[in-house]
Amino acid sequence: MPPYGHRFILGNMPPPIGGVSTFMRRHVAQLERDGVPHSVRDWTKMSGRRRLAWMLRLLLDPRHMHVEFNAYETWTMVAVVLRPWPAHVLLRVHSGGPESRLNSWQKWIFARFLRGVDQLVLVGAHVESVLRTAGYLLPDSWAVQPAFLPPPPEDRPSVLATYGESGRRFLDAHHPLLVLQGSNAFRDGVDLYGSDMAVDALIALRTEFPRLGLVVGRPTRGGAAFEAYCAGLDRRLAAAGASNHMWILDGERELWPVIERADVYLRPTLSDGDSIGVREALHLGTAVVASDAAPRPAGVRTFVSRDQQAFNEAIRRALSDAEQPRASACS
């Protein structure tokens, strides 16, 4: 990072809680601990008036500015391209997904913006291929750097307190324990984060592991289509007599203390980037079973994406290995 002045950090802050917003929260907290002067700009939470004021400031302020992008935002990138004053621009590309799906004029803007970036950070090596396949020319200098930052252990009691008595009872009553970061995102009608696969795995493995439990972190239910999908999963569990073996951790609560306690972290995604959840689980000493939808770090058990039988078998093997004692990195 350059030594000069105030830094503007652009990206999504919780809520909702997700990979990028979790990184943003911890990144900003680290800047605060280090005494680095900064301001956060979350475009998704700004009114139209505040967005216009921010763009004009970025465009017209003659001071040498440091601007860090952690999300794609067309109009802020336009302001950077048009800015006549010096600025140091850092772009951190978390997956390459949004940038690869732009329309023609957005793609033109992003290509211009990319040429002027001073620091380009890709959170996984595969992001280079995603951007080049989409037709972008990368700067001569760029680096691969995972976006994972460790959870602060001192936050554990306050996060656990958000689970309530019912959540603590569930965690105490179930062993072994699986955990999944779900979502309300779909592609062609398929759950991108694989909550359906986790439910089917729970049903299939419960006869072998009678106290098996599944914790699913996901956004508060909303939207008719998502409600119907969730109701279908509930009916599937009820028909198998397994309703009390799954706990939905919604309401935008952090998941890492559950990951720390779990035996296996599940990542049966249809598509993915360098998952912060996967790296968090590895950091906490929890076994990981993930789809082969993206390159995975060393130590992750992978299976062919959307192959339910292979998924179940990978979990079974991980549970058998998880019987060995392990120590948490946050102890």
Distance, in Å, from the CA atom of 83 to the CA atom of 304, rounded to the nearest integer, reads 46
The pLDDT value given to residue 53: 96
From the list 267, 178, 193, 275, the residue with the least C-alpha distance to 226 is 193
Q: Is the pLDDT of residue 96 over 90?
A: no
Contacts for 74-81: CB closer than 8 Å, 24+ residues apart = 74/106, 74/109, 74/110, 75/51, 76/10, 76/41, 76/43, 77/109, 77/110, 77/113, 78/109, 79/55, 80/113, 80/116, 81/109, 81/112, 81/113, 81/116
The pLDDT value given to residue 321: 87
The pLDDT value given to residue 322: 75
From the list 272, 263, 267, the residue with the least C-alpha distance to 303 is 267
The pLDDT value given to residue 131: 95
Q: 167 or 322: whose pLDDT is higher? A: 167
From the list 259, 266, 272, the residue with the least C-alpha distance to 329 is 259
The pLDDT value given to residue 97: 85
Instruction: Give the mean pLDDT of 185-212.
Output: 96
Instruction: Give the mean pLDDT of 45-70.
Output: 95
Tell me the CA distances in angstroms from 301 to 12, 20, 109, 257, 312, one per residue in order: 30, 23, 39, 21, 12
Instruction: Give the mean pLDDT of 266-271.
Output: 96
Please, what is the average pLDDT of the chain? 92
The pLDDT value given to residue 204: 97
Under the banding of pLDDT at 50, 70 and 90, the label for residue 229 is very high
Residue 104: partners with Cβ closer than 8 Å, 6 or more residues away: none
Under the banding of pLDDT at 50, 70 and 90, the label for residue 328 is very low
Q: Is the pTM of this model over 0.85?
A: no
